[in-house]
């Protein structure tokens, strides 16, 4: 396939692997979005087409990650596939009006303060969930927030320029400045490192726009209340803190932004991608979930899992996973020495596999059964004293590049921290306690 396919518009009625094109919705530098439907039952969908095939690996990694997002305020990614005409991402068709249209229709010049704040609260719920999955949206603005009666309010859409937390733009690929000026955080505009604070800036700019009818100018100190007809000191202070040009001075999270507005977020509405389905009294699920989630963020992975040796059968059992394929891999058992993780446990040495699909140790059948066949892996032994008690498996760099031996040193440090955390928590079960059943609990590494 060529690096870049011709930007030919797909005709109405074009069939693409079970989806039928109806009409174009939007066109941008990265590709185009079409209205369509499933060929078999006519379910409405939005189909995004990527033309630059140099980024296919990265696109697939990001598509798998996004397809694992499940939250009522985040657009649902249904499918992704490669076709001779391009690479495609299929999303649910969110019915409703985006906030840009609502503002245009009813703004005077902005919306009522209470209405603007409620829209912002719902956007905070979506973004906090997305950030918890180590993703930064990077293009939060009224046009990407749809008020959908079918979904119970605001739905965040268009993850076309989303990035992992902490990722820096690749200047040489011409991606600096992709986003929307005046909504885009200064560090994103300049090609700096993205973080949840980048989306907080965009969220504050969105609230400013909903209140005043127009987006803010970078560094503008005009009081919002003087434009919006009086929005209150609390709102004014919150927006100012969200629009700080230096990210370290900006409100740190969407949860904090909501609190500053006086609208604490409701309980969790989405399910974390971290899953722990194996019942082990010696390994608290929340600890395992925190470990795999942190490892995925630090090691720039689309997915991560922990497997521990079963002391009875010597099998390697996947205890917890985060990211694409998380639910399917938890509970899977590998015979001793089998698979990349089994090889690492047996040898006690870390392994970086640039192309795991062509590695003879890779258990392709098991991977296919989970619905996630990775491109590249970094597998790290979890060692206690002189023995290996498990493995930390890191799957697919989100930038599409392979893991190499140069990643082992950093990964091994995290693996050491993992063992220490598990052992420290296990020690709590060994400590003297008034609970007579506590003495019967096992430690994680014994």
Q: Which residues belong to the active site?
A: 139
In terms of phi and psi (left: phi > 0; alpha: psi -120 to 50; beta: otherwise), the region of 24 is beta
Q: Distance of CA 310 to CAs 74, 119, 289, 331, Å? A: 38, 49, 19, 11
For 15, counting Cβ atoms within 10 Å of its Cβ (0-12 exposed, 13-18 middle, 19+ buried), the class is: exposed
Choose among 165, 162, 171, 174: nearest CA to 193: 165
Handedness of CA 220, 222, 224, 229 (dihedral sign): negative
How far the first Cα of the chain sits from its last, in Å, is 52
Choose among 113, 90, 112: nearest CA to 44: 90
CA 155 to chain CA mean position, Å: 16
Q: Distance of CA 16 to CAs 34, 79, 147, 347, Å? A: 12, 12, 29, 46
Q: How far apart are CA 415 and CA 295, in angstroms?
A: 9
The length of the chain, given as a count of residues? 446
Backbone angles phi, psi at 247, to 5 degrees: -60, -35
Q: List helix spans (H) across 303-374.
A: 326-329, 339-347, 364-370
Q: Distance of CA 293 to CAs 18, 299, 300, 359, 427, Å? A: 34, 10, 11, 26, 23
Asked if 396 and 361 count as a contact pair (C-beta separation under 8 A), the reply is no
Choose among 371, 379, 373: nearest CA to 403: 379
User: In degrees, to the nearest 5, what angle opens at C-alpha 272 toward C-alphas 46 and 72?
Assistant: 40
């Amino acid at each position: 396939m060529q690096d870049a396919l011709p930007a030919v518009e797909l005709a109405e009625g074009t069939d693409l692997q079970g989806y039928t094109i109806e009409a174009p919705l939007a066109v941008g530098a990265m590709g185009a979005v079409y209205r369509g439907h499933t060929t078999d039952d006519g379910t409405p969908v939005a189909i995004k087409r990527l033309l630059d095939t140099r980024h296919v690996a990265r696109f697939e990694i990001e598509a798998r990650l996004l397809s694992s997002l499940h939250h009522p305020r985040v657009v649902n990614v249904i499918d992704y596939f490669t076709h001779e005409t391009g690479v495609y991402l299929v999303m649910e068709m969110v019915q409703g009006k985006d906030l840009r249209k609502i503002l245009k229709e009813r703004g005077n010049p902005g919306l009522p303060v209470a209405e603007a704040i409620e829209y912002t609260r719902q956007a905070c719920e979506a973004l906090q969930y997305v950030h918890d999955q180590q993703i930064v949206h990077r293009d939060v603005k009224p046009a990407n927030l749809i008020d959908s009666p079918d979904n119970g309010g605001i739905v965040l859409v268009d993850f076309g320029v989303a990035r992992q937390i902490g990722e820096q733009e690749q200047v040489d690929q011409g991606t600096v400045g992709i986003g929307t000026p005046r909504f885009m955080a200064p560090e994103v505009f300049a090609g700096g490192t993205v973080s949840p604070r980048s989306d907080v800036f965009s969220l504050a700019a969105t609230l400013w726009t909903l209140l005043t009818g127009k987006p803010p100018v970078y560094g503008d100190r005009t009081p919002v209340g003087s434009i919006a007809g009086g929005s209150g000191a609390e709102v004014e202070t919150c927006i100012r803190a969200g629009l700080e040009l230096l990210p370290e001075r900006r409100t740190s999270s969407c949860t904090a932004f909501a609190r500053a507005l006086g609208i604490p977020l409701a309980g969790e509405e989405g399910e974390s991608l971290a899953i722990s389905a194996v019942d082990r009294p010696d390994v608290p699920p929340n600890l395992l979930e925190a470990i795999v989630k942190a490892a995925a963020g630090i090691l720039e992975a689309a997915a991560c899992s922990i497997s521990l040796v079963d002391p009875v059968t010597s099998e390697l059992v996947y205890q917890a996973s985060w990211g694409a394929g998380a639910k399917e891999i938890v509970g899977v058992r590998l015979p001793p020495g089998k698979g990349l993780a089994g090889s690492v446990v047996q040898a006690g040495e870390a392994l970086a596999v640039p192309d795991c699909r062509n590695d003879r140790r890779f258990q392709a059948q098991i991977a296919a059964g989970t619905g996630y066949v990775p491109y590249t892996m970094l597998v790290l032994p979890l060692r206690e004293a002189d023995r290996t008690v498990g493995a930390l498996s890191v799957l697919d760099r989100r930038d599409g590049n392979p893991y190499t031996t140069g990643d082992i040193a950093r990964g091994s440090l995290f693996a050491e921290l993992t063992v220490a955390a598990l052992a420290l928590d296990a020690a709590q079960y060994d400590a003297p306690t008034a609970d007579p059943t506590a003495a019967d609990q096992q430690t994680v590494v014994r």
